Amino acid sequence: MTALQVRRFAATLVVAFALGCSDSDDSGNPAGPSGSGVGDDPAITNNTDDFQFQLTNASNFSTNGGYTWRNTGATASVTNSSSISAGSATLTIRDAGGRIVYQRSLSESGGTTESGPSGDWRIELAPSGVSGTLNFRVQRGG
């Protein structure tokens, strides 16, 4: 290999490494399932400091799961506009240390989480036999 070929190879590696380590998107912050937002196919937006979940026309919808969400703040603000005509749903939020900082029925209004360390938080949704609309948003607080 000539000196010129070595320099070109090294430059290619530097560019590839820089592109691979870029944090300009939220590809490291998976949303989980994302869909139409109707029936049993929720529409989910999961960006750093902004998470949204919407499911309309749900009928006897039950699931158990959660989403990793990156919060750069110490708290989060929860806005809830769910309208549940049957069943129940609980929203639980855990901070980066795994501690529950928010837990409320989605039949109640939103609020603010307790303070916790920033980083990868966990948003857990537990609907059971829900009919109606599940619609909430979690955004970075302070």
Can you give the residue ranges of every domain in the chain?
32-140
Bridge partners of residue 135, in order along the sequence = 54
Tell me, what's the pLDDT at 24?
A: 40
Verdict on whether the full-model pTM lies above 0.85: no
* pLDDT tens, per residue, the chain with 142 residues: 666 555 555 455 444 444 344 344 444 444 444 455 667 788 999 999 999 999 999 999 998 889 999 999 999 999 999 999 999 999 999 999 999 999 999 999 999 999 999 999 999 999 999 999 999 999 999 7
Write the single-letter amino acid at 33: P
Output Rg (C-alpha) for the chain, integer angstroms: 20
Query: Is CATH 2.60.120 correct for 32-140?
Result: yes
What are the angstrom distances between the C-alpha of 49 and each of 31, 110, 134, 139?
13, 17, 20, 5
Q: What is the DSSP letter of 27?
A: T
